[in-house]
């Protein structure tokens, strides 16, 4: 298994095409990002395939709150880079053993998230329609 290099993001550093970013502060620690921000880590992936794999690993770890046990700070929580690396490499090792199955399950997960999002939009429209029916008689 070929592990990527994980560092603190610096605005002075040059961004490579296969670099992946993850939040390092706040309640969304570990959330994968397409573009860097001041409070993030950079994961230097060696290929597009590795980029996609680590993006999926980060996303699932973030959604499963895998980083929450390592948060420090009272006002703005943050994670130490050593703890972040530990979690990412641990999850990558677990995924690497059964990557094909993980890939399939992750795709199903994303499809379910899209479906959940469309249902949420429909529910919002129903709420608005109910409001219109009621407000029409009250105003």
pLDDT at 15 exceeding the cut of 90: no
pLDDT, position 1: 62
Average pLDDT score over residue span 44-58? 90
Query: How confident is residue 74, by pLDDT bands cut at 50, 70 and 90?
Result: confident
Same domain for 13 and 50, yes or no, is yes
Question: For residue 24, what pLDDT is reported?
Answer: 92
Q: What is the DSSP string of the chain?
A: --PPEEEE--TTSPPPTTEEEEE-BSTTTT-EESS--SSEEEEE-SSHHHHHHHHHHHHHHHHTTTTGGGEE-SSS-EE-HHHHHHHHHHHHHHHHHTHHHHHHHHHHHHHHHHHHHHHHHHHHHHHHHHHHHHHHHH-
High-pLDDT (> 70) share of the chain, %:
99
Q: Are residues 66 and 115 in the same domain?
A: no
For residues 49 and 71, membership in a common domain is answered with yes
Q: Mean pLDDT over residues 58-75, rounded?
A: 91
Same domain, 107 and 82: no
Task: Mark whether 54 and 104 lie in a shared domain.
Answer: no
Asked whether residue 61 falls in the same domain as residue 126, the answer is no
Q: Average pLDDT over the chain, rounded to whole?
A: 90
Average pLDDT over residues 72-83: 91
31 shares a domain with 57: yes
């Amino acid at each position: 298994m070929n592990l990527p290099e994980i560092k603190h993001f610096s605005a002075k550093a040059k961004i490579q095409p296969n670099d992946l970013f993850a939040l390092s502060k706040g309640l969304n620690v570990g959330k994968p990002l397409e573009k860097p921000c001041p409070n993030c880590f950079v994961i230097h992936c060696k290929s597009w395939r590795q980029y996609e794999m680590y993006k999926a690993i980060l996303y699932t770890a973030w959604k499963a709150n895998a980083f929450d046990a390592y948060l420090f700070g009272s006002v703005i929580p943050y994670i130490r880079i050593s703890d972040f690396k530990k979690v990412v490499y641990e999850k990558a090792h677990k995924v690497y053993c059964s990557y094909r199955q993980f890939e399939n399950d992750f795709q199903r997960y994303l499809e379910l998230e899209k479906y959940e999002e469309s249902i949420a939009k429909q529910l919002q429209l129903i709420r608005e329609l109910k409001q219109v029916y009621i407000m029409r008689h009250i105003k």
